[in-house]
Structure 1
């Protein structure tokens, strides 16, 4: 039996329109507010139609030494052309961290499935 993690795909976001692009500082000070921007299709635009769209993006933070990641946010995109309204797969999240760790972004395309990307975050005293 497959595990959910077996379905996640990744790649270079500059050549693959489904990979979540994570913009976050490389280094922050302990206790500072961290702003993270995530989008899908930064280099190659992802279609945003009723037939082909990004349904959601999730952001997790896995602190060094932690047993599991913490969900920072879950963002749903509900309008895919109804009455001419189209949501864009772009989110901004803000949080504080006391330890260095890894930011993980996941997303879901209704046609091409689950995608992931990650970046390291250094927290200094």
Structure 2
């Protein structure tokens, strides 16, 4: 049996429609709010149909020298054409950090499974 970490797929989000693309500043000031957006299908559109869609996106923060990630945000997408309603797979959050680390995102496609990406973030005094 596989470990859950072995089930996550990665790729360049500019060429792959399933990878959660994290948009955040590379450097932020400690204890000041900044915006983070995570989207699936940023460059290559992902289908949003009953048969093929993104069900959720999660955003985590892993502080430098830590082995425990903190869940920052979670978005579920429920409308994939029912009653002519659609939700696009985008998550937005305002975040405040006090330590350098990584922002890590995961997403789930109902056909192609689990996907992940990460970006480093520098926190300045």
Query: Given the two structures, how large is their TM-score scaled by the length of structure 2?
Result: 0.98
Paired residue total: 125
**Paired residue for 1:103?**
103
Gaps in structure 2 of 5+ consecutive residues? none
Q: Aligned to 2:92, what secondary structure does the other structure show?
A: strand
**Paired residue for 1:80?**
80
Gaps in structure 1 of 5+ consecutive residues? none
Task: Render the CA deviation track for 1:32-72: whole Å, top value 9, x for unaligned.
Answer: 10210010111110000000000000000000122211000
**Paired residue for 1:19?**
19
Query: Given the two structures, how large is their TM-score scaled by the length of structure 1?
Result: 0.98
